[in-house]
Amino acid sequence: MYFQHVYDKSLAQASYFIGCQKAGVALVIDPKRDVDTYLEIAKQNNMKITHIAETHIHADFLSGSRELAALTGAKLYLSDEGGEGWLYEFPHEGLKDGSVFKVGNLKIEVLHTPGHTPESISFLLTDTPASDKPVMLFTGDFVFVGDIGRPDLLEEAAGMIGTKEVGAKQMFKSMERFRALADYIQVWPGHGAGSACGKALGAVPSTTVGYEKVRNWALQHENDEQGFVKYLLEDQPEPPKYFAMMKKLNKVERPLLTEVPKLKKLSGQDLKVAMDKGIKVIDTRLKQDFAAGFIPGSINIQGNNAFATWMGWFLTYEEPFILIADESKHDDLVRKLMRIGLDNIYGYVPDVHVWTAQGVLEKANVISLDEFKEILKTNHTQVVDLRGSSEYKAGHVKGADHVFIGTLEKNLSKIKKDQQVVIHCQAGDRASIGYSLLAKHGFKNIKNYSGGINEWVNAGNAVVSES
């Protein structure tokens, strides 16, 4: 058996290439949308991708299953569980609990493991030449390292009211099934630390059933469904706004994108004309570079591992947008955008200096820890914490208001215009987004304490928490 774990750090998303070397055929589970990765693995190992499978209808990324099938001719093996409203609306080989299919000498058994979503399935793999016992379980968003999939996304992100309690109870029953598996079976989940699909995912890529029985909180509630449901639903991170669109696009027919697109270069005049039409400009540079000089009206979303997540918060799928990004960054940035279906890129400019013939660059008002402490002594300053709700509750600067960065544009009325305002987050990235958004909306009274809670706490300053 050939096995390769393919991990996308930007979305903390795992996919798997599993091949039978004797037969020269392979299965890909939960592929990302830039599928050239899997084609290259197949080429290097003289294998043909014949099977593509998904664990569920994903909410956090746009699956590349159909792109990969179009390029390879492989069949799609997808869940037919979950009932009305949870069936894939395009041709596929339907899978039910107990379904079995073969990839060469590899045997794949399907387990229906609902909870995260009603149609979720897991794949139990047996390498038949080596053993008649299963050795690997691919769990998708069912069981993670140290955590389990959240059942509230359908309600919180997709607006399906009343589904989270039902999902939590389904998850409780699915955990009983997991508990019955042999301890030695390896567990390969769909996500790692940093994913919004759970609240405490471990950082290592895999685990075992036995380890999770000892370590995973969800397996410590064997006879306590009520306690299990309560803990599972509380303090989950805010689901990114784009999740609802992913649920839709992963279920229905949609246009395919089978290669990484090239971007159109814009002149300074092109940029100005586009901005005058209301087209958003995303400055992907580091926050310190943005602060030193930025194009008025641009939004700073750094091109790091969180780039796609924040782009999904602040852009819709209908609107075009422009990137400020050096050409050396394009392949990485476009791949990250492809993975959540943000394909409507109007063009790019390589640097902010193309703007100097059109107008003047602005500078961000970034303050130090000492300046922040002096400001706190005054009576006419609003401090706004832009972190997530659970982060804020765990410990914040006394007197600070809370507005989560992802909902800032919907809550501009909560930011005062008649007095000084200091914004901050954990380490400065979200505060830079916030500063750029507020500047775009005409706020002139904002200061950015970029050091954030990390610097504040490390310097020995107190925080207050909420139970």
**Residue 256, domain member (yes or no):** no
pLDDT-based confidence at residue 198 (cuts at 50, 70, 90): low
Query: Do 400 and 447 have their domain in common?
Result: yes
Going across the sheet that includes 93-95, the strands are 2-8, 13-20, 25-29, 48-53, 75-79, 93-95
Query: Do 111 and 157 have their domain in common?
Result: yes
- Give the chain's domain count: 3
pLDDT at 316: 94
Q: Which residue has the higher pLDDT, 158 or 360?
A: 360
CATH number at residue 438: 3.40.250.10
Q: What are phi and psi of 239, to 5 degrees?
A: -75, 130
Query: Do 234 and 275 have their domain in common?
Result: no
Rounded to whole angstroms, how far apart are CA atoms 60 and 32? 11
Query: Do 188 and 232 have their domain in common?
Result: yes
Query: Do 225 and 307 have their domain in common?
Result: no
pLDDT at 139: 98
pLDDT at 343: 96
With beta carbons less than 8 A apart as the criterion, state whether 300 and 433 touch: yes
Among residues 113, 99, 116, 251, which one has the least CA distance to residue 196? 116
Reply yes or no on whether the pLDDT at 253 is more than 90: yes
pLDDT-based confidence at residue 203 (cuts at 50, 70, 90): confident
pLDDT in tens, 133-191: 999 999 999 999 999 999 987 676 666 666 889 999 999 999 999 999 999 999 999 99
Reply yes or no on whether the pLDDT at 125 is more than 70: yes
Q: What is the average per-residue pLDDT within 237-247?
A: 89
| Mean pLDDT computed over every residue of the chain | 95
pLDDT in tens, 429-444: 999 999 999 999 999 9
Encode burial over 101-132: b for 16+ CB neighbours within 10 A, e otherwise. bebbbbbbbbbbbbbbbbbbbbbbbbbeeeee
Reply yes or no on whether the pLDDT at 411 is more than 90: yes
With beta carbons less than 8 A apart as the criterion, state whether 420 and 375 touch: yes
pLDDT at 235: 82
pLDDT at 266: 97
Query: Do 177 and 45 have their domain in common?
Result: yes
Domain boundary among 291, 316, 349: 349
Query: Do 312 and 179 have their domain in common?
Result: no
Tell if the pTM clears 0.85, that is, is over it.
yes
Going across the sheet that includes 381-385, the strands are 366-367, 446-449, 420-424, 381-385, 401-402
Q: What is the average per-residue pLDDT within 49-62?
A: 97
pLDDT at 238: 84
- Tell how strand 366-367 and strand 446-449 pair up: parallel
Q: What is the DSSP letter of 61?
A: S
Query: Do 242 and 372 have their domain in common?
Result: no
Query: Do 80 and 210 have their domain in common?
Result: yes
Query: Do 95 and 239 have their domain in common?
Result: yes
pLDDT at 156: 67
- Domain enclosing residue 333, as ranges: 268-349
Domain boundary among 218, 249, 280: 249
Rounded to whole angstroms, how far apart are CA atoms 319 and 212? 44
CATH number at residue 29: 3.60.15.10
Among residues 231, 140, 154, 135, which one has the least CA distance to residue 191? 140
pLDDT at 357: 83
Domain boundary among 318, 349, 380: 349
Q: What is the DSSP letter of 139?
A: E
**Residue 405, domain member (yes or no):** yes
**Residue 149, domain member (yes or no):** yes
**Residue 360, domain member (yes or no):** no
pLDDT at 157: 61
Query: Do 405 and 294 have their domain in common?
Result: no
Reply yes or no on whether the pLDDT at 426 is more than 90: yes
Per-residue CA distances from 334 to 15, 330, 343, 463 (Å): 19, 6, 8, 39
Detail the DSSP E strand segments found in 66-185.
Answer: 75-79, 93-95, 100-103, 106-112, 121-127, 136-140
- Tell how strand 321-324 and strand 100-103 pair up: unpaired
Q: What is the average per-residue pLDDT within 63-76?
A: 98
Reply yes or no on whether the pLDDT at 337 is more than 90: yes
**Residue 235, domain member (yes or no):** yes
**Residue 315, domain member (yes or no):** yes
With beta carbons less than 8 A apart as the criterion, state whether 182 and 209 touch: yes
**Residue 115, domain member (yes or no):** yes
Reply yes or no on whether the pLDDT at 77 is more than 90: yes
pLDDT-based confidence at residue 379 (cuts at 50, 70, 90): confident
Query: Do 25 and 116 have their domain in common?
Result: yes
